């Protein structure tokens, strides 16, 4: 199956084309004539795709004089359900967005929200101090502040007499 675009993974939408319908029919043992490019086809393809893929978060990464800041939208996620892993040169944000209640596919008029696992890894442009990093969520916006390490700073040591 062709890899879906970011927008398709984020919204849960799918492209309706004959080759995708044929692939879905083979995977799910459905006759191609039963598919016909309708809403049922989109539901089947979205279900198959969501079980196989993990969504990629969008992120803003910028710097201030003292830190690198990473921001991403994690609406609907409790802070304890978000995992932020950092090293001196990278950050990975991951988690899972779960439905509050189960709704049958036949009851949907539109199904555009993404439910399931998500993650994003970013290589940082400069080394940071992982011990001093700070993450906060406000109104669904996750902000991770990563203090920069200043390797050009020269530390002078005072020599002590023993």
Q: Give the count of alpha carbons within 13 A of 143, CB side only.
A: 11
Q: DSSP letters of the chain? A: -PPPPHHHHHH------HHHHHHHHHHHT--GGGTTTSHHHHHHHHHHHHHH--EEPP-EEEE-SSEEEEEEE-TT--GGGEEEEE-SSEEEEEEEE--SS---GGG-S---S--EEEEEEEE-SS-B-GGG-EEEEETTEEEEEEEBP-TTPPPPPPPPP-
Model confidence pLDDT, tens digit, residues 64-86:
999 999 999 998 888 888 999 99
Q: Distance (Å, rounded) from C-alpha 30 to C-alpha 47? A: 14
Give the pLDDT of residue 55. 87
Give the pLDDT of residue 9. 63
pTM for the whole structure: 0.61
Using CA of residue 126, residue 129, residue 132, residue 135, what is the dihedral sign? positive
The arithmetic mean of pLDDT across residues 34-52, rounded, is: 51
- Computed over every residue of the chain, the mean pLDDT equals 77
Which is more confidently placed, 113 or 39?
113
């Amino acid at each position: 199956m062709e890899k879906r675009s970011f927008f398709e993974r984020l919204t849960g939408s799918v492209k309706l084309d004959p080759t995708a319908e044929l692939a879905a029919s083979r995977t799910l043992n459905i006759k191609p004539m039963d598919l016909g490019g309708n809403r049922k086809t989109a539901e089947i393809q979205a279900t198959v795709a969501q079980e196989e893929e993990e969504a990629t978060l969008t992120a803003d990464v910028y710097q201030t004089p003292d830190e690198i800041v990473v921001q991403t939208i994690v609406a609907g996620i409790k802070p304890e359900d978000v995992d932020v892993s950092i090293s001196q040169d990278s950050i990975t944000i991951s988690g899972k967005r779960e439905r509050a209640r189960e709704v049958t596919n036949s009851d949907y008029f539109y199904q555009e929200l993404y439910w399931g696992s998500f993650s994003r890894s970013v290589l940082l442009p400069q080394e940071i101090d992982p011990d001093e990093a700070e993450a906060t969520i406000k109104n669904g916006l996750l902000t991770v502040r990563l203090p920069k390490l200043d390797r050009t700073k020269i530390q002078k040591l005072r020599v002590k007499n023993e």
